[in-house]
């Protein structure tokens, strides 16, 4: 990133915000063309601020800013005042994905595929099974980050058999095993690959497998995401209040 950069009307979403100094906010945005960027919204917590009520997660917006260092300054924000209808009742999952994106992407690194998949996630969360939507987002995020899981073939190059059992290495893929503790059915691997979790126990197996992959590839970042999620669960009622702006 250059010493000075001015950007106007970049498409994005706010992921996270926190108070800064007496009346300002540091807001983290995820944009289509510029990736993740942290911006100071000066005076955003003042009663008469033009930004009051606009700094909300899950809301599609157009962001303008100027940067002179790693931390930029928000100069304008336009929103369409439209949020997916299910977010208030599924807010923990939505915040979990926001934190996952925050911790897994480097600032200023454009990730257009992840951005479009994030938009798709918000739409799906309003319409489909919550657990399925989460697992498929985690699967695809790993793929876009270069950590895609080998789900169709074994380490020996043979097709995964839905009736067989496997040990699964998140970097090398499955290897044939006998049924027992720590193994995963081939049907569950194929279910995760296809996104159709009809096989008994396949959704739970997918969660276990993806958690291991996220731990391996994101390490401390994934642990931090889970800490945030646990904190949210402890204060669940607060996340269900109507309107959750940072002011």
What is the domain partition of the chain in residue ranges? 5-79, 91-238
**pLDDT of res. 32:** 96
- Residues of the chain with pLDDT > 70, as a percent, come to 84
Average pLDDT, the chain: 86
Q: Which residue has the tokens 């642990």?
A: 223
Mean pLDDT, residues 164-190: 93
* Statement: residue 188 has pLDDT above 80: yes
Say if 5-79 and 91-238 have the same CATH topology. Answer: no
Q: 89 or 241: which carries more pLDDT confidence?
A: 89
Mean pLDDT, residues 81-93: 65
Q: Which of 142, 138, 143 is nearest to 229 (CA)?
A: 138
d(CA 128, CA 171): 30
Among 17-26, 73-82, 143-152, which is the least confidently predicted range?
A: 73-82
Length of the chain measured in residues = 247
Count the alpha carbons within 13 Å of 74 in the hemisphere toward its beta carbon. 28
Q: Which residue has the tokens 């739409």?
A: 123
Describe the crossing of helices 112-125 and 130-144 by its angle, rounded to 10 degrees. 180
Among 158-167, 188-197, 209-218, which is the least confidently predicted range?
A: 209-218
CATH class of 91-238: mainly alpha
| Third-level CATH fold of 5-79 | OB fold (Dihydrolipoamide Acetyltransferase, E2P) (2.40.50)
**pLDDT of res. 247:** 29
Using alpha carbons, list the distances in angstroms from residue 209 to 173, 191, 199: 11, 12, 15
* Confidence class for position 163, pLDDT limits 50, 70, 90: very high
Residue 181 structure tokens: 């503790």
Mean pLDDT, residues 218-243: 55
Q: 5 or 219: which carries more pLDDT confidence?
A: 5
Mean pLDDT, residues 90-118: 91
Among 25-39, 72-86, 213-227, which is the least confidently predicted range?
A: 213-227
Among 56-65, 83-92, 93-102, 110-119, which is the least confidently predicted range?
A: 83-92
* Statement: residue 105 has pLDDT above 70: yes
List, as one string, the DSSP characters of 21-52: TTTEEEEEEEETTTEEEEEEETTTTSTT-TTT
Q: pTM (2 decimals)?
A: 0.86
């Amino acid at each position: 990133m250059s010493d000075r950069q001015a950007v106007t009307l970049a498409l994005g979403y706010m992921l996270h915000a926190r108070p800064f100094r007496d009346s300002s906010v540091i807001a983290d945005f995820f944009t289509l063309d510029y990736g993740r960027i942290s911006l100071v919204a000066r005076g955003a917590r003042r009663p008469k601020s033009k930004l009051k009520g606009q700094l909300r997660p899950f809301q599609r917006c157009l962001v303008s800013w100027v940067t002179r260092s790693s931390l930029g300054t928000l100069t304008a924000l336009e929103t369409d005042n439209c949020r997916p209808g299910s977010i208030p009742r599924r807010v923990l999952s939505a915040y979990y994905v926001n934190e996952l994106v925050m911790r897994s992407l480097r600032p200023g690194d454009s990730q257009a595929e992840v951005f479009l998949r994030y938009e798709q996630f918000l739409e799906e969360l309003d319409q489909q099974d919550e657990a399925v939507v989460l697992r498929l987002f985690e699967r695809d995020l790993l793929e876009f980050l270069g950590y895609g899981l080998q789900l169709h073939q074994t380490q020996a190059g043979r097709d995964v058999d839905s009736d067989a059992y496997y040990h699964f290495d998140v970097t090398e893929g499955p290897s044939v095993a006998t049924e027992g503790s720590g193994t995963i059915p081939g049907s569950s691997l194929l279910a995760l690959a296809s996104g159709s979790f009809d096989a008994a126990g396949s959704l739970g197996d997918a969660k276990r497998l993806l958690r291991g992959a996220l731990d391996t590839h994101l390490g401390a970042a994934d642990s931090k995401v889970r800490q945030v999620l646990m904190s949210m669960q402890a204060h669940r009622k607060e996340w269900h209040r109507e309107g959750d702006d940072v002011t």
